[in-house]
Structure 1
């Protein structure tokens, strides 16, 4: 049943409209009345009716102003106005603001009923169009999700379908980034991008369609939201060439797996993982796990990685050449991963591929392998413990000396000579907070000091590395509860940001 409201400043008119019209025969229920403009608007907002019948002349807010406010909030509302003013100017104004019908007073039952019949037909058509539109959007959403998943999985034929479903939006894309998470992704549509969400098995995926090139602010916000929720989000690189979307997807999955292995919460970019992991195409899961365990300082995890390998050698009839090749490969992977973090105290002329050829018995070969592996690991972990504080101190000094610059994790890692993922682990281990949290906190504390000394807000924003006032203001208020200008006023200085 449709809902209707009646508005008129004459009580007798409202009573008459409710009694002389058989509303139920039209499938309409009168759910409210009012005698002035403000009360009428309040009643409309409460009842959210399909149909509004209102007089033009009412105190507080006339009927045309009321209709304008109603249609501003609910454009599909069917509005009928009536008035004793038989003037063209009122009719013209009513049409301009979107009134559906206009009746003259005194109101005749036949005219009202005819207007109601027209209203029912038009409301029915609007509902039909709205339902069709909703069905189309839901169908389009499902088809877009399917086409996106096909595209992620490397189906080249899906690109044409995907572009077709995006329509004009495909022509204004500034890039596409794929995110992966083991839980619902902490991301919604934003002014600078749309998001296609996909559930694929245990994976929650998000294809970010950037209208503008993604900013550092976007990644910081995603990182903070993911960390707040205690989840790991893997991110592939941003593709300018849509043909690279499957690669971004594979990178996102790999970044997610590595981030979870390292117990990193927040956003983990594939490019942050380090060259040893991101470069080789044929790195096995065992080899990757060795690298990640070394970076995380996880001695138990490292030993766990080689135990299944040793058991495989013991229980299976494996060709000796295969055994030699796999042992040497794992030792070199461990050695290179250790070097990427800190230079292990292993003799420079270490040549396992030469030493292993002098060993012919399986048990001796396994004992040699375990000993070499444990020496590399122990050496790396000891040096890691000795150098981690000085490494983080170097990183902190570099951050504090370049506060006005845009500093990514990669920039700082490059300066101190280790991989971004390893620096991320060390930072959390030594300082108790992530790189981004440390960077943000340092910048805001520096900004507070500068504002307290009377510096201009725009100058402070630049000094602490925020090159747009809006982003600086949002972050500052989130951490302090005050805008930069309000904080400055609290410190006894005039607010120059207004």
Structure 2
């Protein structure tokens, strides 16, 4: 049912219309009346009526001033004005403001009836138009999401369809694309003139493709750095590619970064680091699963994936030559994963043995044996000499944790692949590399704050050159901002030059 209000400083008008018109016959509920412009505007704001009937002349605010405010705040409201004799100039101004009808006084039931019928028809047309626009917009958005998914999965052949859905003029402005993957729906970025976001669900993940209009996207990375400590979801991002045909690579990298972050029980944003990868590019999903199981020490998962790999190869009915080639490739990948540990395998993969095998089953049995041996080697090595690598990493962190450094730099120092080191670190230390370094820095920051150092100086001293990022991390770690922590211990912050994020004392 539509809602209507009547505003007039003549009591006979408001009461007469209220009592004499059968509003329900029109599907209208009369929800209020007022006799001055100020009360009328307040009523509009509180009740949000669909129809406003108002006199042009009223105390407080005139009808024209009221309509002007309504047009600003609630532009879809249908306004009807009552006018007296010789008020044509007021009527002309009212029409310019968008009123849909006007009634000369004295007001009769016949005039009211005609005006209400015209207004209801007008509202109906507006609603249909709004619904149509909403449907068109939703359809466009759905088409864009589908076209973007096609771009990520199909590459070059999907570019024309994506351009059409994105808008050809807008597509010409795109200079690069970065893909994010999350465990839940992503609402982590604000809209910005330097990029456009397309988000959608894909399998178990929520995908967000960021199309850049300018590179490098400092605003994007700064937003993510600041928001990461507050995120309740785990988010992985791929590299930025300037060629749209390579957008799918960013998707794979984002999903890979997400998967390892989930395994490490990390919340917030994890960025894919290309230097971590020494394996061949373009691995299939089956090969990726096998790599993941080897890195995470999941032997049962590894054997299941190998069985799935065998069934897939059998279904493809490959020739013996191609089977040998694929088996050899997978064995080589397993060897490379084992080498990520930073040592050297006891023996190379005996690939020459494959040449003397005539059956597919023999080749798969050989593959299974090699992968089990490599997996066992990694497990034995992990429980022996590779713990020295973690000890070496801990010593490096202890010495340099007040500086700005990356996991990749730590991995290079100990001579180990960064992905493997992060997994080994979690197993040996009981917490992830990021959490360990953050704890060291936050504890040192607390000491510095209690010594009276300025928050901005403390931020830099403990390796964070983004002041807001440090403040958010400190608040997440301690439950209070740096300023609140210091004041809670009786240390004055009167000389602090910068207002802290979240500090409202």
Shorter chain as denominator, the TM-score bin is: 0.7 to 0.9
Contact 1:82 1:103 in 2 (8 A): yes
Q: CA deviation at 1:425?
A: 2.0
The aligned residue for residue 130 of structure 1 is: 130
**Pairwise CA distance, 1:238:** 1.9
Aligned residue runs from structure 1 range 47-446, under 5 A: 47-55=47-55, 67=67, 70-80=70-80, 98=97, 100=99, 108-109=107-108, 115-116=115-116, 119-154=119-154, 156-167=156-167, 168-173=169-174, 175-180=176-181, 184-187=184-187, 190-192=190-192, 193-200=195-202, 204-210=206-212, 213=217, 215-220=220-225, 228-229=232-233, 233-255=235-257, 267=269, 269-271=271-273, 274-277=276-279, 279-281=280-282, 285=286, 288-289=288-289, 291-298=291-298, 333-344=333-344, 346-347=345-346, 350-353=347-350, 373=374, 376-383=377-384, 386-387=387-388, 389-394=390-395, 396-397=397-398, 400-402=401-403, 405=404, 407-440=405-438, 443-446=441-444
Question: How far did 1:140 drift?
Answer: 0.5
Structure 1 residues 144 and 334: alpha-carbon distance in aligned structure 2, compared to 1, 3 A threshold: closer
C-alpha distance in 1 between matches for 2:385 and 2:305: 20
Bigger mean CA offset, 416-425 vs 353-362: 353-362
Give the conservation status (yes or no) of the 8 Å contact 1:341–1:384.
no
Deviation at 1:79, TM superposition (A): 3.0
SS in 1 for 2:14: helix
d(CA) in 2 for partners of 1:124 and 1:295? Answer: 62
The question of whether the paired residues in 2 share the 8 Å contact of 1:395 and 1:413 is answered with: no
Alpha-carbon contact 2:335-2:349 (below 8 Å) kept: no
Query: Secondary structure at 1:198's aligned position in 2?
Result: strand
Distance in 1, matches of 2:84 and 2:450, equals: 65
The alignment partner of 1:428 has SS state of helix
Q: Which residue of 1 aligns with 2:502?
A: none
TM-score w.r.t. the length of structure 2 is: 0.72
- Matched-pair contact (CA < 8 Å) for 2:155–2:247: no
Summarize deviations over 1:139-190 as a string: whole Å, max 9, x none.
1112212222222222635323322332354354453223345x64333562
Give 3-state SS (helix, strand or coil) of 1:197's partner: strand
Say if 1:487 and 1:263 are closer, same or farther in 2 by CA, change over 3 A: closer
* Structure 1 residues 217 and 351: CA distance shift in structure 2, 3 A: same
CA 1:464 to 1:121, structure 2 compared with 1: closer, same or farther past 3 Å?
farther
Query: CA 1:357–1:156 in structure 2 vs 1: closer, same or farther (change >3 Å)?
Result: closer
SS in 2 for 1:191: coil
Q: Aligned partners of 1:384 and 1:81: how far apart in 2?
A: 88
The count of aligned residue pairs is 481
CA shift for structure 1 position 134:
0.8
| SS of residue paired to 1:237 | strand
Q: Secondary structure at the match of 2:240?
A: coil
Partner of 1:315: none
CA distance in 2, matches of 1:26, 1:3: 11
5+ unaligned residues in a row in structure 1: which ranges?
313-317
User: How big is the shift at 1:259?
Assistant: 5.9
Q: CA RMSD in A?
A: 5.0
- The CA distance in 2 between the partners of 1:323 and 1:126, in whole Å, is 65
Deviations 1:468-489 (A, max 9, x none): 5555555555555555555565
TM-superposed CA distance for 1:239, in Å, is 2.1
Instruction: Name the TM-score, length of structure 1 as normaliser.
Output: 0.73
* Aligned residues of 2:181 and 2:255 also touching (Cα < 8 A): yes
Q: 1:442 to 1:211 in 2, by over 3 A?
A: farther
CA contact (8 A) 2:402 2:461 kept: no
| 1:277-333 deviation digits (Å, cap 9, x = unpaired) | 4x34457835x5554344334466567777899999xxxxx9999999888766654
